[in-house]
Amino acid sequence: MTLRRAAIATPALGFLLALAPATAEERTPPAASSEPARPAATCTSGEGGCPGTGAAARVGGTVHVNSGPNDCGGEECFQISVECPNLGQAEHAVLKIGAPSSRREYKGMVLFMTGLGGTGFWERFGSTASRTLSKLRASGYRTVQLKWERGWLYAAPGRREGQAALACRPATVAHWLLERYDAGPNAAFCASGSSAGASQIAYMMGDYGLADRLDAVVMTGGPPFARLDWGCLRGDPEHAAFSFSANQRRFIDGGFGYSRDVEGPCTRGDAAFVPEWQQASHLTDGGTLVFPRTSVWVLIGDRDDVGARPQAEAYVAALRAAGSPDVHQESIKRTPHDVPSTSRGAKRVRKLLQQECRPR
């Protein structure tokens, strides 16, 4: 399926990269060229809009099904690859899809994504998270867990692509799911993402034309990448709370094609790179911040220790200021950055989805 350009309403936003428990692959960005080249511009006035205008969605890509559906523990799994015209390489992923209960009226589909590169299934957050998925299916929802092989947020070697452009990958998957499982106006489409998984959602809505398709979103521990410039710059007292850790800076650099063994611009705090960070940030990349039909929920653990709260609060404030009518932020008690990893956090995600995930 090839994703076509879709009209959107106005400008966009986001939040910071926050660290969650990760595999070795997630902790270290893949190697890339030490001196990335700036890619060709992906937006011109002739294309119907440029950053800051919010006039048109970014160009999407194509999903290729390499195998599946195959049985995986009573659910269906697809091995896919995603190609985007403005990215230098394809990325592989696995979709784990759980069917809704046949004893209940079908209510819709919920897409789940994890943090950092998104290389784990959402169920890895523990037994309560797994029960959340099964209870949603029992309620009449189809659950979809998206797991990237290498990570959605890494640029091709030698290309300064940036996180907003790299989000073509999850956005293309979302459009493919809608095309494959579209059940008409009586079925909802919703999503929940943790940490950088929340940013996958924010880019989908703000930059890739999904603001009109997502009925409800529950973002936890994020979204990351609201203002990359505030996180990367050093010696900025006004935005000191946004400053990225050393490891987070390396992941940001990986999104611009810098090798893990090279000090990239975010690691250096290079002020000359500010325009490129802004073009990749939710709040300044030219996408829309106005979501008139989406119920947006942002959940932050009160024990979050990775700096997620300032970025999440900036995202929420920007949506409200832009006029999004249904935006909420909650602090989850006795919960760390990985909100779904606690019983309290996972149950809140489930209850919100059961309450808000309905056609609008």
Q: pLDDT tens-digit profile of 223-257? A: 889 999 999 999 889 999 999 999 999 999 999 99
* CA neighbor of 51 nearest in space, from 277, 264, 210: 277
Q: pLDDT tens-digit profile of 31-69? A: 444 445 443 333 322 222 233 334 468 989 999 999 989
* CA neighbor of 14 nearest in space, from 288, 233, 264: 288
| 24 pLDDT more than 70 | no
User: What count of Cα atoms within 13 Å lies in the side-chain half-sphere of residue 45?
Assistant: 0
Q: pLDDT tens-digit profile of 188-221? A: 999 999 999 999 999 999 999 999 899 999 999 9
**Which residue type, as a one-letter code, is found at position 46?**
G
| 178 pLDDT more than 80 | yes
| 9 pLDDT more than 90 | no
Mean pLDDT confidence for 277-306? 96
The pLDDT score that the predictor gives to residue 11 is: 30
When the pLDDT of each residue in the chain is averaged and rounded to a whole number, the result is: 86
| 76 pLDDT more than 80 | yes
The pLDDT score that the predictor gives to residue 106 is: 94
200 token code pair: 């996958």
Query: In whole angstroms, what is the distance from residue 160 CA to residue 88 CA?
Result: 10
| 350 pLDDT more than 50 | yes
63 token code pair: 């999903």
What is the percentage of the chain residues whose pLDDT exceeds 90? 77
**How long, in residues, is the chain?**
360
Mean pLDDT confidence for 290-314? 95
Mean pLDDT confidence for 91-109? 95
The domains located in the chain, with CATH, are 24-356 (3.40.50.1820)
For residue 15, name the pLDDT band (cuts at 50, 70, 90): very low
| 174 pLDDT more than 50 | yes
Q: Report the range of poorest mean pLDDT among 23-27, 214-218, 287-291, 338-342.
A: 23-27
| 4 pLDDT more than 60 | no
The pLDDT score that the predictor gives to residue 184 is: 79
Q: pLDDT tens-digit profile of 132-164? A: 999 999 999 999 999 999 999 999 988 999 999
Query: In whole angstroms, what is the distance from residue 15 CA to residue 23 CA?
Result: 22
The pLDDT score that the predictor gives to residue 36 is: 53
The pLDDT score that the predictor gives to residue 158 is: 87
| 294 pLDDT more than 80 | yes
What is the percentage of the chain residues whose pLDDT exceeds 70? 84
150 token code pair: 């290498």
Torsion-angle region of 73 (φ positive above 0: left; ψ -120 to 50: alpha; else: beta) = left
Decide if 208 contacts 168 (C-beta within 8 A). yes
Could you tell me the sign of the dihedral formed by the alpha carbons of 232, 234, 238, 240, in that order?
positive
The pLDDT score that the predictor gives to residue 34 is: 47
The pLDDT score that the predictor gives to residue 308 is: 86
Whether residue 310 is preceded by a cis peptide bond, meaning omega within 30 degrees of 0, is no
| 126 pLDDT more than 60 | yes
| 165 pLDDT more than 50 | yes
